[in-house]
A and B are shown apart, each in its own frame.
Chain A
């Protein structure tokens, strides 16, 4: 059981937009910064978003992040088949004194 809650799967058509939610509590998302990762099986996870809404260099602006209260959201616009992957949110949990992740969301581009 993950500390952060994500939907197991989402899907959308190529070119469309999708959002992935990440729900937590005041000890994690509510008072700390959220990051998002893209993970294709057999490869290294890739940082997409850090500090709630910042993109590392090289990450296209099709990827965006936001946070409100104890929830965060990853948005992906202009979906491509290459975006099919597992997506994870993560943050620091001040009560656990630990980095925590969501259970992951599998994105299918139909």
Chain B
């Protein structure tokens, strides 16, 4: 059974870059048919998709965040990572990693991490 676990700092200063890592266990990140995703939830708000990556390295990003986001994959360590730059208080949120099913089309996110809370504050 595939499991995902986010890791990274819980507190980041404004203008800095957030770096989070998602470790995949119970399965290979290189197995086809999945995109590896980042999603966030602002306090009291709904879910916001940040972007996802295929094990080959191809990426899709939310257009509203694209200029500040980089998602990368490390197949040797079965991990993928998120970098979000130029942070402001508006980036304070719970950040989730998830596995997106993809069979020639997007088919939902079937495995999620528990989420990690990130606060942007000086």
Contact = CB atoms under 8 A, between A and B. Distances in A.
Interface of A: 2, 32-33, 35, 37, 39, 43-47, 49-51, 56, 88, 90-92, 96-104
A102 B41 CA distance: 12
Interface residues of B, number: 24
A101 B46 CA distance: 8
A91 B105 CA distance: 10
Contacts, number: 69
Given A91-B106, A98-B60, A44 B46 contact: no
Contact of B115 (A44, A91, A102): A44
Nearest to B97: A44
B109 interface: yes
Given A45-B96, A103-B46, A104-B46, A98 B62 contact: yes
A90 B112 CA distance: 15
Interface string B32-62: 0000010000000111110010000000101
Given A44-B96, A100-B49, A103-B46, A50 B113 contact: no
B106 A33 contact: yes
Q: DSSP class of A's interface residues: helix, strand, loop or mixed? A: strand
A90 B37 CA distance: 14
Contact of A92 (B37, B47, B106, B114): B106
Given A45-B96, A97-B60, A99-B100, A88 B46 contact: yes
